[in-house]
Amino acid sequence: MTKAQIGKCPPLLFFDTGVGGLSVLSETIKLLPNAPIVYAADYAGLPYGMKSEAELAARVPALLGRLVERYKPVLATIACNTASTIALDHVRSALDIPVVGTVPAIKPASELTRTGVIGLLGTRATIRQPYVDRLAADFASDKILLRHAAPELVYAAEAKLRGETPDPDVIQQALSGLLDQAGGERIDTVILACTHFPLLREELAEAAGRPIQFIDGAKGIAHRIAYLTKDMSWPVDSQDGIFVTTAELADIAPYRSAFEKYGITQFEKL
C-alpha cells in the first residue's frame, strides 16, 4: 500500500445499494476521522436482496471496477451483506486493491449467545447463500441458527434516513417472522445480516419486547479497514466526502442530510 501523497490522499470507497453502508461507515470514521470517503449507492439496483446470484455476480464487480477507475481508492469496502456473500470473490479477483466484505456476524453471535439459539435477519438472497451455511458450520455448529428474510426492513431503513418514521407494524412483522418460528422464543441474540438493519436497532429492540442483543459486523469491519490502511498518512483535517449513485441525483435529494451528517457533501452520478 502506498503512502498518501502530499495534498492528494486516495479515499476509502464504500459500496451499498442505498443508505445501509452508513452503518459501516459510521464505525469506520470513528477510527479514521480524516480519511477521505467516497460512498457509492447503487440505487438503480436496489434491492439486491431480490436479485439472482448471476445478476449480482456480474453487476457488483462491474460497478466496483468503474468506481475504482474513477476514484482510485486505497481500499474498497462492500458495505452490503448481499453483495459480499455472493460477489466478494469476483470483486477481489477483478480489483488490485484490498477489498473488505461485510458478512453475517455468526462467529461473534455464537460466542455471545447464552441460550444457544441465534436469529439471523437478512435479505432473501443473503439467507439462502452457501457462504452463510459455511459460516454456520464453521462457527455455530453446536448452536441453533434460525433465519428469516426481512426485505421490508430495507425500505423501512431507507424511509428513516429520509426523515420519515418507519412503520412500527413493519418492524414488528419482520421480527415476528423470526421469533415466532419453532424455538424462536429461546433466541437471545439476533444477527443483523443486512447493513440497512442496524439503522433500525432501536425500533427492533423496542418491538422485541424482551431483552435480545442485536449484533452486526460494523465495528469489526472498521478495525479491519484501519488495520489494512495502517501505513497511510491521512490528512490532518477531515475531508469533504463524495456520494456517487447509479440513480438520478434528483431521486436522492431526500437523503442528502443523512449523508451530510457524515461529512459527505458532494453528490455525483456514476
16 binds ligand DGL per the rule CB under 6 A: yes
Q: Is the peptide bond before 47 cis (omega within 30 degrees of 0)?
A: yes
Query: Smallest gap, in angstroms, from Cβ of residue 16 to ligand DGL?
Result: 5
Active site includes 9?
no
Query: Smallest gap, in angstroms, from Cβ of residue 47 to ligand DGL?
Result: 3
State phi, psi for 144 to the nearest 5 degrees. Answer: -100, 130
| Distance from C-alpha of 127 to C-alpha of 121, rounded to nearest angstrom | 8
> Greatest CA span in the chain, whole angstroms?
59
Within 94-123, which residues bind ligand DGL (CB under 6 A)? 123
| Choice between 123 and 189, CB closer to ligand DGL | 123
20 binds ligand DGL per the rule CB under 6 A: yes
77 binds ligand DGL per the rule CB under 6 A: no
Region binding ligand DGL by CB under 6 A among candidate stretches 55-63, 80-88, 127-135, 179-187 = 80-88
Active site includes 80?
yes
Q: What is the DSSP string of 151-199?
A: HHHHHHHHHHHTTPPPPHHHHHHHHHHHHTSTTGGG--EEEEESTTGGG
Per the structure block, which three cell numbers stand in for 86?
455472493
Contact 74, 229 (CB under 8 A): yes
Q: Which residues of 133-149 are buried (b: 16+ CB within 10 A; e: fewer)?
A: eebbeebbeebbbbbbb
**Of 22, 63, 80, 199, which is the active-site residue?**
80
Region binding ligand DGL by CB under 6 A among candidate stretches 40-48, 59-67, 86-94, 212-220 = 40-48
Per the structure block, which three cell numbers stand in for 59?
453487476
Per the structure block, which three cell numbers stand in for 52?
439472482
Query: Smallest gap, in angstroms, from Cβ of residue 81 to ligand DGL?
Result: 4
| Choice between 88 and 232, CB closer to ligand DGL | 88
Identify which of 234, 235, 252 has the alpha carbon closest to the alpha carbon of residue 244.
252
Site string for ligand DGL, 159-198 (x = CB under 6 A): -----------------------------------xxx--
Per the structure block, which three cell numbers stand in for 3?
503512502
Q: Using CB under 6 A, which of 64, 80, 120, 208 touches ligand DGL?
A: 80
Identify which of 96, 111, 121, 108 has the alpha carbon closest to the alpha carbon of residue 196.
121
Contact 38, 12 (CB under 8 A): yes
Q: Using CB under 6 A, which of 11, 12, 17, 229 touches ligand DGL?
A: 17
| Distance from C-alpha of 171 to C-alpha of 98, rounded to nearest angstrom | 35
Q: Using CB under 6 A, which of 82, 129, 229, 245 touches ligand DGL?
A: 82
**Of 135, 194, 212, 215, which is the active-site residue?**
194
Where do contacts with ligand DGL occur on this chain (CB under 6 A)?
A: 16-17, 20, 46-49, 80-82, 123, 126, 154, 194-196
Active site residues: 80, 194
